[in-house]
Structure 1
Amino acid sequence: MQKLVFESAWDRTLAQKDRHEIERVFFEINGEGKEGYQAVLLKTAFNHKREFLVTVLLNNYSKISLSLLGKKVVYKEMGESLGEFESAYTLEVPAQTSMPWTFIFPAGSLIDTPNGDSGELIIS
């Protein structure tokens, strides 16, 4: 059975409103029969350094942990790749677990300016 877990720093600092939104999205997802993993887009934003932030709910439906280290992370909108990087994140998402996470695309790493409405994050 899929469970929702917050990484310790997230658990300490996450605003109650944001926690409720993540929980709402988690409970709306039906993970029954799913395999592998998926990233459900929660929000996008630019920070003060002009880095592009993509917050997702990572759903690991498999029976083994998902490591983000060394994975290719791609942000797409309307099927077009707008940016990618190789992950240096050491996050491990345990088997049959969902966790929120924010991916940071460095300033200048995007090919085009995203609109953030219809994007998807692909991890491979």
Structure 2
Amino acid sequence: MSKLHFHSVWEDRLPQKQKDDLNKFLGGLAPIHKEFGVALVRGKYKKNGGAVATVLLRNGFEKPMDIERVKAKILDKDNLLIAEEEFELDLRLQAESALPWSFVFSKDSVIRPNIDPDNWMIQVHLPIKKE
């Protein structure tokens, strides 16, 4: 079973109730083995027209993973693109663990601003090699 870890920013600022809720959410997911996975916890549009996707980044490997750059996409239930953006990260996912993270999409990256966030799916493609 995966263990939930928190980035130091989340560890310091997230109330215990939200940490407990994330642990419960993780416990409801099917286990992953020898793969990287992403689970959408919550999505929402921002007042400025951007979007936020809060996810659990899941490492099903027996070794830690370093994540530096990814392309994230928000899709609707019909696989239509809602938003897409590249993100520079400096994250370490411990072996067989999950890490909550929020991807904040700019207004310019949002293509479809009126899709119900309850119908969102997330894809995170990695690694993107630095040029």
Question: With structure 1 as the length reference, what TM-score do the two structures score?
Answer: 0.86
State how far apart, in whole Å, the 1-side matches of 2:81 and 2:92 are. 25
| Equivalent in the alignment of 1:42 | 41
Matched-pair contact (CA < 8 Å) for 2:50–2:110: no
Matched, 1:80 2:80: yes
Matched, 1:62 2:56: no
Deviation digits for residues 40-94 of structure 1 (CA, Å, limit 9, x no counterpart): 1111123344331100111110133333322211111121121111121111212
| Equivalent in the alignment of 2:30 | 30
| Structure 2 unaligned regions, length at least 5 | 126-131
State how far apart, in whole Å, the 1-side matches of 2:64 and 2:49 are. 32
Matched-pair contact (CA < 8 Å) for 1:3–1:97: yes
| Equivalent in the alignment of 1:101 | 101
Q: Counterpart amino acid of 1:35?
A: K
Deviation digits for residues 99-123 of structure 1 (CA, Å, limit 9, x no counterpart): 1110010112111113111211111
Deviation >4 Å, runs of 4+: none
| Structure 1 unaligned regions, length at least 5 | none
Question: With structure 2 as the length reference, what TM-score do the two structures score?
Answer: 0.82
State how far apart, in whole Å, the 1-side matches of 2:74 and 2:67 are. 15
Which deviates more from structure 2 when the two are superposed, residues 65-74 or residues 10-19?
65-74
Which deviates more from structure 2 when the two are superposed, residues 15-24 or residues 40-49?
40-49
Sequence identity of aligned pairs in percent?
A: 22
| Equivalent in the alignment of 2:123 | 122
Matched, 1:53 2:55: no
Q: Does the C-alpha gap of structure 1 residues 48 and 103 become closer, same or farther in structure 2, counting only changes over 3 Å?
A: same
| Equivalent in the alignment of 1:5 | 5
How far is the alpha carbon of 1:9 from its aligned partner? 0.9
